[in-house]
Amino acid sequence: MRIGALEAGGTKMVLGVFDEEGHLLEDTKIPTRMPSQTMPEIISFFQEKGIERLGIGTFGPVDLRRTSPDYGTITATPKLDWRNYPLMADLEQALQVPCFIDTDVNAAALAECRLGAARGCENAVYVTVGTGIGAGICVGGKPVHGLMHPEVGHMLLKPNPMDPLPQGICPYHDSCLEGLASGPAIAKRAGAGAENLREDDPVFTLETEYLAQMCVNLIMTVSPEKIVLGGGVMGREFLLERIQKETVRLLGGYIQVPEITARVDSYIVRPELYPISGLIGAWLLARDGIT
């Protein structure tokens, strides 16, 4: 069986074709433009590949309520051209194959739980830190859905009193994680992207603190067996160790488990499947019929 996989990102669309065993047979990338420009390219690619199913991991927010008439529709996204766009319905109609959809970060979390850095964990969180911040949460080996889907990037944080941008840059909330710690927030403070800054730039002290606050909040609320940190900002390798140490400090000795007190370097970790965690997760959604 040939299975299509789509990781629909705000900047680019990653398209792949897998066999049932998970071998990536073919993949391509196209820029995310207006739906009228982007969707015909996606449809054309998959129509020529003979796929029998399609898994979709998409940027959000997206309606994931199976009983909703808008199931599979991108909703209040900041990408205005895609707001209220029925992504899943249009792909099912055009391709005439069953489609399975989740957020891009839930798909990535599923992949890392099944095959990557959180392999063997039933409960884990995958966080991507880049242009935005999003997180997928797996509980019992499956992505979490509830009223909608987790929006970890918009959890509220306590700003550092020395932060020159304490309200952050999010258009929806003051002092939320994405507004304070995303790549554009770093650039707003420092005048350059994270990849171009020295390790001792003060902006990384703030970044470490905010991502550690996130980890503490996740530990206290979700109690994951593993936290996986990916995305472009985490490409600065020194950040991971700083976040690990700051997380332990902020916990203040309250959580007394060896995974944190003795082995935090194997508890908060990098992804193993990056940069195609989301694409592999989309394949898993379709292969296993996860909804």
Q: Are residues 19 and 100 in the same domain?
A: yes
Q: Are residues 143 and 190 in the same domain?
A: yes
Q: Are residues 174 and 281 in the same domain?
A: no
Q: Are residues 10 and 38 in the same domain?
A: yes
Per the domain annotation, does 220 fall within a domain? yes
This prediction's pTM: 0.94
Q: Are residues 129 and 254 in the same domain?
A: yes
3-state secondary structure of 19: strand
Per the domain annotation, does 195 fall within a domain? yes
Per the domain annotation, does 38 fall within a domain? yes
Strand 99-103 versus strand 24-31 pairing type: unpaired
Q: Which domain holds residue 279?
A: 2-106+275-288
Total structural domains within the chain? 2
Q: Are residues 144 and 195 in the same domain?
A: yes
Q: How far apart are CA 16 and CA 3, in angstroms?
A: 8
Q: Are residues 261 and 124 in the same domain?
A: yes
Q: Are residues 32 and 132 in the same domain?
A: no
Per the domain annotation, does 111 fall within a domain? no
Cα-based angle 179, 182, 186 (whole degrees, multiple of 5): 95
CA nearest 278: which of 135, 176, 174, 170? 135
Per the domain annotation, does 112 fall within a domain? no
**pLDDT by position in tens, the chain (length 291):** 999 999 999 889 999 999 999 999 999 999 999 999 999 999 999 999 999 999 999 998 999 999 999 999 999 888 889 999 999 999 999 999 999 999 999 999 999 999 999 999 999 999 999 999 999 999 999 999 888 889 999 999 999 999 999 999 999 999 999 999 999 999 999 999 999 999 999 999 999 999 999 999 999 999 999 999 999 999 999 999 999 999 999 999 999 999 999 999 999 999 999 999 999 999 999 999 987
Per the domain annotation, does 171 fall within a domain? yes
Check which CATH number belongs to the domain holding 256 and give it. Answer: 3.30.420.40
Q: Are residues 263 and 141 in the same domain?
A: yes
Per the domain annotation, does 80 fall within a domain? yes
Per the domain annotation, does 283 fall within a domain? yes
Q: Are residues 138 and 189 in the same domain?
A: yes
Cα-based angle 265, 193, 218 (whole degrees, multiple of 5): 35
Strand 133-139 versus strand 124-129 pairing type: antiparallel
In this structure, are residues 106 and 143 in contact, taking their beta carbons and an 8 Å threshold? Answer: yes
Q: Are residues 124 and 218 in the same domain?
A: yes
